Structure 1
Amino acid sequence: MSKNPFKLVECPRDAMQGLHDFVPTALKSAYLNLLLQVGFDTLDFGSFVSPKAIPQMADTEAVLDNLDLSNTDTKLLAIVANLRGVEEAIKHDQIHYLGFPFSISETFQQRNTNSSIKESLNTVEEMLSLCEKSGKTAVVYLSMGFGNPYGDEWNYEIVERWADTLVEKGVRILSLADTVGISTPEKIKTILPQLISHFSEIEIGVHLHSTPKERLEKIEAAYQAGVMRIDSALKGFGGCPMAADDLTGNIATEDVIQFLNAKGADLNLNMKKWNEAMELSTQIFS
């Protein structure tokens, strides 16, 4: 099989984290084990954050012990929000990526990680050092990268300035994250090509949230912008419980697959396992 040039990142962690009822560990694990067989580049499977903040992810360590990685090339990504989370995550050999939400909105950084942007930059530096020592790779999300609902200042220059700062610190994978669905096709097509051009040695991705009506337009805009790393979640489930009372869902993975297939991309996905995951998802997201 030819190597799929698109890095598809499936995000069940983001899909599940805002659910009111706790998903049993065995059910979570069964769902993730199916997704591991589909052929995604990366599975954003869990997080090492305070269980008081995100109770749905309190069993990430137990889930990890239940995952079958014997017959998959998919790499695991765990979200961390502070140094304690980094130290917990790097203990696990199965985890390849550590993801950190670095908000360029001061209000959201406080809401999401209970720290300032300045403090979070220090955490990123510590994370990069620990990742290097432990053989992990850091993924930093430029959260609220398309604007924010809090009235904090936002413009393209701010996005590029923080991207510059993070790259100078040693970040090699940046994902421009929407979180609340503020991104538009126009913003995507304006911001992403400039970032991709400016940081030609850096892997630039997108983590978009959207209403169902706007999903395809945003996927097409990201594709036209030259993005090769795309985060999404089965059926578009999810949203960030720290961002707003009304969760805006993720980009739906099936829409990404359909769009890229129509463009002639060879995604090398096991659609039988994908359909099994779709079926099992009804027990989680009913």
Structure 2
Amino acid sequence: MSLYRNAIWFLNGIHHYTRKGYEAAAQNFDPKDLEVSVVGRSFMITGANSGIGKAAAMAIAKRGGTVHMVCRNKERAEEAQSDIISQSGNTEVYVHIVDMCQTSKVLEFAEAFKKQHASLHVLINNAGCMVHKRELNSEGLEKNFATNTMGVYILTQTLVPLLQKSRDPRVITVSSGGMLVQKLRVVDLQTEKERFDGVMVYAQNKRQQVVLTEHWARAHPVIHFSVTHPGWVDTPAVSSSMPEFHRMMEGRLRTAEQGADTVVWLALSRAAVRKRSGQFFQGKQDNVRTNDPTASLWICFEMYSCFSGCRS
């Protein structure tokens, strides 16, 4: 990533990714898009105990949807569950404890969920992490890659058959605009060769998510796939993983509800599924494509290799 490209991206972000950027874009939103009831539809949201995930879960529960919260910490998850039920009046909110970094556990959970539930209408891949030092999980995978890419791949790939049985199935993955300053390194997906920088590794993972989304859209045309940048949002994850950025942007970051707005729109609205599947959204606009089928094939080969390892 060049200094020039980084600077241009940051200046663009100041205008478009902040709270003011959201407020300006919101003037063109159609509120009728979200005047929907989703009673009888089921939604799975990873990382749903705080930030964007909790805001999305709350918005869906208030509209009558059945919400499956996939979270790592039981205490925080149950606290968020209680809060969502209390504010929405919807008791169809369930907690599943899964660490998305442990890919074998993700696979185990997804396989069990398929057997226990007749349908799943929407999967929202929201959970993510930014570890600043290179660490491996118990399966020998770099932790950022395991959570942000491999966990997302396994959960989505395993639940595809269940989604395909459902009416109007959708998969939304919460990516990051940071991926725009990174070219996909197809031969170094776990950052073993390059200098390890947590922020850049995270951006690489988010680029990987975009490429996977384009692949899934081609491979599974029955399901509507999308990936979105929520803007710069004031969440516990941002304050803990990027404290200097959080301090610098104090007062200008979007609220969790503003960050979740496009996620909820993609999950609920009829307007969203009129957009072509596989697109990257920024503020309800599908304006970015990587358009690299070779990269898609390579990353899917690598994912499949790791996936096969989890099954063995």
Higher helix share: 2
TM class, shorter-length: 0.3 to 0.5
Higher relative contact order structure (alpha carbons within 8 Å, sequence separation ≥ 6): 1
TM-score, normalising length from structure 1?
0.41
In the superposition, the TM-score normalised over structure 2's length comes to 0.38
